[in-house]
Structure 1
Amino acid sequence: MNKLQPPSDPQRPASRRDFEIAIMCALVHEADAVEALFDHYWDDDCPPYDKATGDPNAYSIGAIGRHNVVLAWMPAMGKASAAAVAANCRASFPNIRLALVVGVCGVVPINREGQEIILGDVIISDGVVQYDLGRRTLLDSLGRPNMEIRSLLTKLKGFRGRKTLQEKAARYLAVVQQEPGLAAQHPGVENDRVFHATYRHVTDGKLCNECGCNGILVPRSRFNGANPPSPVVHFGLVASSDTVLKSAEDRDATAQQEGVIAFEMESAGVWDIFPCVVIKGACDYADSHKMKAWQKYAAATAAAYMKAFLDSWAPSQLSLPGT
């Protein structure tokens, strides 16, 4: 049991119909970080919940704080996989009221307001656009979240809400990092480098320090403080595409045109099926200089903010028959 959590754990749900929160992860280390923050595993108790007929999904079922949750493990990345997993999840858990797409993403290093985003920071969506990054065209604006989600996001954007969210996330991140098998430690600020958009990676398949990337770096003032810097939360528009973005020039053009601050591949598949919030950690700058070294740390920061977000989630009560 996680000792950071107050002793108000939910009761074991009687059936699959009693679950209202789903978490979707596309990569194993994303789901590992989420599971590390479970306060109880209903999977370990009998009888099992099983699944609806024909549902091929794999689930981890448990409690995070006062919420019963179901974690869906996606078999692959991308919108199509996410849509299929979400649809099958809805068949097995028909009363889901909130889906959290949790994991890693590429980010814009400096948003339109001039704020720096560094690796390990976390993006929480207040909207999603579906984008064809190959043709740099907007396919569809998937709209805003519902009023219940928007109200909470507005509260969390306030000074006290943001401060509380970041303080809780810091504590939960420490819990994930106590699991040695997850290797979720900060990779070091020396490995967080942003090259000017026109400078491309020298050799595919090798890290920058292996192939001699030596372009002009974008200066980062966030590195002048604590080392390592604490992950900061950013609220904004997320672009969801079927392909991984590896072009800083396309990144900057898309960010300028649409105001997006992050790029990922799953949320568009979930958005039309469940009320949805994207919570993802920055693991690269959506350019050609990608490094997997940041993925586990970014997955951990995303999971930490996910749990902090759920601490604030208080859905309205459903009316019971006869009330």
Structure 2
Amino acid sequence: MRVLIVDDEYSKVQAIAAALRAVPEIFDLNIVHETTAQAARATLRRDAIDLLVIDLHLPDVIGEQGSAEGGLALLSMMCLDDKVQLPTDVIFLSGREELLENATSKVAALGAMIYQYRADLTLWKCALVGRAKYICHRKKRTRDLPRNVDIAIVTALRSPELDAVLNLPYKWRQERLSGDPTPYYFGTIERGSDRAPLTVVATCATRKGMPSAGALAARVSTLFSPKYLVMTGICAGLAGKAALGDIIVADPTWDCGSGKQAEDVYGSPVFKAAPYQRQLDVNVMHIASELAKEPTIVQSIRAGWSERVPAGTLTVRVGPMASSASVVAASEFAASIAGQHKDLLAIEMEGYAVMAAAEYARVPAPISIVIKSVCDFADAKKDDDWQTYAAYTSAAFADHLFRHVAFAG
């Protein structure tokens, strides 16, 4: 449950937070605090909030004096701002008794409730906790309704790709939604006492390829409104450019089959490529590049694997990855794809579709990320020997990315 407290009196905020944290029925509690109306609106544009707690006397921006109707103005502006994700419930708590009488009817007209705050009073606590518990009961009873998560992870295969994700220490729980045959796994990424945890959902397609991956990614985006849409898994590396197990963060990715089948001047068939590339988010690119240069990251990933490992040094690369409609196990065909981008590192079958699904998602659209690790070299020697290891290194690097101090605030 996500609670946003908008109040510039810190002792009051502490008391409100303590009242909520003391109730075990209020599960998955995540409290965010803002001191101004402007900051609160920015948070509501970015995050889905279940319960909004507002003070009446509130400054609009940092450095300004509080206004007697600052909280009312905030709620009014929220209703006018179509970029704001309106919270499930709103409650006003005011420690200024002289403001209550004039504000009560105005708060009611906006669809909210108001209570007097004072440390020795119990009514505000009862109302606050009661609303929070009701929201939690409602959440439990409406499991089949869409919810909001920070990260959605999709994979093409249950084994080994989704299995590698589910081995991450996120306290996974499986749920099924009414009328939806797809199993979803929900978890929480703890990031220390000084940072809010991240919520995550993971699932996999029923078959390989861009159509299935794109359809699943679009559905997940609609159901869960993730901030980040991530695909992990396995890919084929370009011989000489990547080693077995190497982690490739796609930037850019494209459909290598996009183009026109034509004839040259001699009547021979020729493929004229017309790739439309999807770039990686710049902030994510910088974080991934920074992690790639940190030796302890790859060392910890390698050390976390207790079985056989391929020869060579594990590396992380941020670079071009092409999506093909078919499995590539012919070096000549792989070379023709490499001709579409001189720096091509890898070929796989789904990444571009996931990136495209994010592009067409409803606002605010998720940031899409494709992280895949090399399990073969797209040639006649292609086999499955290193698929499980590659799926592991991909998921392990994604975990490091999620925990980076600059990721998701």
> In structure 1, what is the Cα distance between the partners aligned to 2:29 and 2:160?
26
The answer as to whether partners of 2:273 and 2:340 remain within 8 angstroms in 1 is no
Give the distance between the partners of 2:29 and 2:299, measured in 1 at CA: 28
Distance 2:246 2:407 in 1: 25
Q: Which residue of 2 aligns with 1:320?
A: none
Q: What's 1:306 paired with?
A: 398
Q: Distance in 2 between matches of 1:37 and 1:311?
A: 12
CA offsets 1:176-226 (integer angstroms, 9 cap, x no match): x35xxxxx531x43xxxxxxxxxxxxxxxxxxxxxxxxxxxxxxxxxxxxx
- The answer for the alignment partner of 1:113 in structure 2 is none
Q: 1:169 to 1:24 in 2, by over 3 A?
A: farther
CA displacement at 1:155 relative to structure 2: 4.1
For residue 61 of structure 1, report the CA deviation from its aligned partner. Answer: 1.0
The residue type equivalent to 1:253 in the other structure is S
Corresponding residue number in structure 2 for 1:102: 232
For residues 59-208 of structure 1, the aligned pairs below 5 Å read: 59-65=184-190, 66-93=197-224, 95-110=225-240, 116-132=241-257, 137-145=272-280, 149-158=281-290, 161-164=291-294, 166-175=295-304, 177=305, 185-186=308-309, 188-189=310-311
What is the CA-CA distance between 1:103 and the residue it aligns to? 0.5
Q: Which amino acid aligns with 1:40?
A: K
Asked if the contact 1:130/1:138 (under 8 Å) is kept, the reply is no
2:154–2:204 CA contact under 8 A, matched in 1: yes
CA contact (8 A) 1:25 1:101 kept: yes
* Equivalent-residue separation in structure 2 for 1:17 and 1:173 (angstroms): 35
The yes-or-no answer on 1:246 pairing with 2:329 is yes
CA contact (8 A) 1:55 1:89 kept: no
Measured at CA, do residues 78 and 12 of structure 1 come closer, stay the same or move farther in structure 2, by a change above 3 Å? farther
Instruction: Give 1:235 shift.
Output: 1.0
Matched residue, 2:317: 234
Q: Is the 8 A contact 1:280 1:302 kept in 2?
A: yes
How many pairs are equivalent? 243
1:37–1:172 contact (8 Å) kept in structure 2: no
- In the TM superposition, residue 150 of structure 1 has moved relative to its aligned partner by 1.3
- Aligned partner of residue 258 in structure 1, secondary structure: coil
Q: Which secondary structure does the structure 2 equivalent of 1:141 belong to?
A: coil
Matched to 1:152, the amino acid is V
**Deviation of residue 40 (structure 1)?**
1.6
* Residue type at the aligned position of 1:73: C
Residue ranges of structure 1 left out of the alignment (5+ in a row): 1-9, 111-115, 179-183, 190-228, 317-323
Change (3 A) 1:38 1:137: farther
Q: How does 1:36-55 map to 2 (within 5 A)?
A: 36-43=167-174, 50-51=176-177, 54-55=179-180
Long gaps (5+) in structure 2: 1-26, 31-135, 140-145, 191-196, 262-269, 359-366
Once residues 289 and 184 of structure 2 are traced to their aligned partners in structure 1, the CA distance between those partners, rounded to angstroms, is: 31
Structure-2 change in CA distance of 1:267 and 1:12 (3 Å): farther
- Matched with 2:408 is 315
> What are the Cα deviations for residues 13-59 of structure 1, in whole angstroms up to 9, with x where unaligned?
8665330211111121111111111332244xxxx5x53x5433221
Query: How far is 1:266 from its partner?
Result: 0.9
In percent, how many aligned pairs have the same letter? 27
In 2, the alpha carbon distance for the partners of 1:17 and 1:11 equals 13
Runs of 4+ in 1 over 4 A off after TM superposition: 12-16, 133-137
Residue 17 of structure 1 aligns with which residue? Answer: 147
* Aligned partner of residue 237 in structure 1, secondary structure: strand
1:264 is aligned to 2:357: no
Q: Which segment drifts farther, 122-131 or 34-43?
A: 34-43
Provide the secondary structure at the position in 1 that maps to 2:357.
coil
8 Å contact from structure 1 (residues 169, 308) kept in 2: no
The letter for the 1-side match of 2:350 is E
Write the distance in 2 (CA, Å) between the matches of 1:293 and 1:77: 18
Contact preservation (8 Å) 2:151, 2:198:
yes
Q: Does 1:280 align with 2:403?
A: no
Q: Are the structure 2 counterparts of residues 100 and 136 from structure 1 closer, same or farther at C-alpha, using a change threshold of 3 Å?
A: farther
1:293 maps to amino acid = D
Change (3 A) 1:267 1:307: same
Residue aligned with 1:85, SS: helix
Give the TM-score taking structure 2 as reference length: 0.54
Higher relative contact order (CA 8 A, sep 6+): 1
- 3-state secondary structure, aligned to 2:203: strand
